[in-house]
Amino acid sequence: MQFKRKISSGLKWIASRRDARGGVLLYHRIDEPDLDPFNLCVSPENFEKQLAVIAESGKALSLHEFMERKNRDQLDRGSVCLTFDDGYLDVLTNALPLLEKYEIPATLFVTTGNLGKAFWWDRLASLVYPEGALPSTLFLEPAQSPAITIKGLSRKAIYKLLYPILRSSSATGREAIFSSLAKQLPDENRIEPQRCASADEIGKVASHSLLSIGAHTVTHSRLSSLDYPAQLREMSDSIDTLSAITGSKIDTFSYPFGLEGRDFDKLTLKAAKEAGIRYGFAADLNAVTPHTDDLAVPRLWVHNKAENAVRLPLQLWTGTSFRPPVSLAS
Ligand SMILES: [Zn+2]
C-alpha cells in the first residue's frame, strides 16, 4: 500500500511540474531575533535579496489577481505571490517598507485571538531559553501536579517536552501553566517575545495598495482536531473581526500548521465553503497549476537564505529563469 501511495504521489508531483504555472510563497516573520526555535524568521537582508529577484522577474501578483488568472488559465509561467502567516508585527515594521521599495504586493493572514499579543510558543521560548541555573524539576499547574524532571536536559529538549503539553491545553490551562513556569524558571535576561500587530495597526494598513488581509482562525488551533461547528466558528469569527477592522470583505484564509490530511481535512474544506472563503491556503509544498483546488492552494515555505531560497524552487517548478538583478549578481 505504501509503495502504491508513493507511486501515486510521485505521479502527482510529475503532473504538477508539467502543468506548473507559479508559486505562492509562505513567510511568517521578517526579523533577526535572538530566539527563533521554529525557524519562522527570514532576515531583512535575505528578504530584500529575495524581493530583488522577484521584482526583476516582473511576475509578482496580488493574491486575488494570481488566483483569478489561475482560474482563467491565464497565469504566466513563473508567476509569484507572497503571503505571511500569523500576523506578526514585524511584517508591518520590517517587511512592508521593503515591499514598498520593490513594489511587490503581499497578503497577511491574521490570527484574531492574538491581536497585539505574543503567541504562546514564543512566550514559552522566552521562558525556557534565557541563561541561568535551571531547577531539576518543574511543576505545572495545579501545584499538586506531578513534577516533570528536567535535570540534565538541554533547553531545546525542555522546550520540546513542554510544547505538546501547552498545545493541547485550553487557553485558561495554558495561562495557569505559564504563571507557574514563570515562577520556577530563571528570569535574568529574559527576552521579550515578538508580539502580533494590534487591531489598530492592522486597521492602519487595511487600505494599503500593496497589502491585503486574510484570516488565520481565532485561536490558531489545528482545525482537524475540532468538530465541525468549532471549525466553522474559527473561520467565521476571524473573518467577521477582520472585516470589521478593515472595513472590507475578507475571503482569503490560511489553515494553521497547514498540512492537508493532517492539520485540515475534508470537513475543514466544507466549513471553509460555508464560511464564505474563496481561496484557502495550505503549507503543502507544491507549485500552482490550473487544476489547483481554490480551497487548498499549496505554498513554498521560504527559509532564511539569500535569493536562491525562492529562485531555485521557482525555476525548477516553472522552467522560468529567475535572474538576480545586475546589482546583486556577482
Ligand atoms: Zn500559523
Whether 76 has a pLDDT exceeding 50, the answer reads: yes
Ligand 1 centroid from CA 323, angstroms: 31
More confident residue, 259 or 151: 259
Same domain, 46 and 131: no
- Residue 56's nearest CA partner among 105, 106, 102, 107 is 102
Calculate ∠ Cα 43-44-47, nearest 5°: 85
Ligand 1 centroid from CA 233, angstroms: 17
Same domain, 91 and 49: yes
Same domain, 129 and 242: no
Global pTM value = 0.90
Residues 216-237 have a mean pLDDT of 95
Same domain, 173 and 36: no
Q: Which structural domain, as residue segments, surrounds residue 131?
A: 120-184
Same domain, 70 and 146: no
User: How far is it, in rounded angstroms, from Cα 236 to Cα 271?
Assistant: 9
Same domain, 58 and 130: no
Ligand 1 centroid from CA 130, angstroms: 24
Same domain, 110 and 44: yes
Task: Flag whether 324 is in a domain.
Answer: no
Whether 89 has a pLDDT exceeding 80, the answer reads: yes
Residue type, 246: T
Same domain, 42 and 175: no
- 3-class DSSP state of 184: helix
Same domain, 63 and 20: yes
CA distances to 33, 46, 230, 297, 320 from 81, rounded to whole Å, are: 25, 17, 30, 12, 15
- What is the tally of structural domains in the chain? 2
Same domain, 99 and 206: yes
- Residue 268's nearest CA partner among 249, 287, 241, 296 is 296
52 close to 310: Cβ distance less than 8 angstroms:
no
User: How far is it, in rounded angstroms, from Cα 258 to Cα 28?
Assistant: 13
Lowest-confidence segment of 120-129, 207-216, 264-273 by average pLDDT = 120-129
CA 34 to chain centre: 20
Q: Would you place residue 188 in the very low, low, confident or very high pLDDT band (cuts 50, 70, 90)?
A: confident
For residue 285, what is its C-alpha cell? 509544498
Ligand 1 centroid from CA 147, angstroms: 31
Ligand 1 centroid from CA 171, angstroms: 17
User: How far is it, in rounded angstroms, from Cα 162 to Cα 149?
Assistant: 11
pLDDT number for residue 92 = 98
Task: Flag whether 212 is in a domain.
Answer: yes
Mean pLDDT rounded to a whole number for the chain: 90
Q: Would you place residue 328 in the very low, low, confident or very high pLDDT band (cuts 50, 70, 90)?
A: low
- 3-class DSSP state of 148: strand
The 10s digit of each residue's pLDDT in 142-180 is: 655 678 888 888 888 999 999 988 888 888 888 888 988
Q: What pairs with residue 108 in β-bridges?
A: 84, 213
CATH number at residue 228: 3.20.20.370
